[in-house]
């Protein structure tokens, strides 16, 4: 598993299947606007290696306040 951002890990198997793991019990505090609580974030578009190529993953998981 490779960690990217806050509370996000991923792996890619030899068939090219990506698995993303997020612990939904995490809490990284309020968003910049204060309207939501961050559970996990890639903190923008994160580079991920997929079969020797570079791809980009943008992910946010949050709860509304």
Q: How would residue 50 be classed by pLDDT, with cut points 50, 70 and 90?
A: confident
- Residue pair 6/40 in contact by the 8 Å Cβ criterion: yes
| Residue 26 tokens, joined | 């995490």
Q: How far apart are CA 29 and CA 55, in angstroms?
A: 28
The ranges assigned to domains in the chain are: 2-64
Q: Which residues of 3-13 are buried (b: 16+ CB within 10 A; e: fewer)?
A: ebbbbbebeee
- pLDDT value of residue 52: 87
Is 65 a residue whose pLDDT tops 90?
no
pLDDT of residue 12: 92
Residue 22: helix, strand or coil by DSSP? strand
Confidence bin at 51 (pLDDT 50/70/90): confident
Mean pLDDT of 9-37: 94
């Amino acid at each position: 598993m490779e960690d990217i951002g806050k509370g996000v890990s991923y792996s890619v198997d030899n068939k090219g299947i990506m698995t993303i793991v997020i612990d939904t019990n995490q809490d990284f505090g309020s968003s910049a606007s204060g309207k939501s609580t961050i559970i996990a974030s890639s903190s923008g578009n994160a580079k991920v290696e997929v079969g020797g190529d570079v791809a980009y993953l943008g992910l946010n998981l949050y709860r509304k306040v």
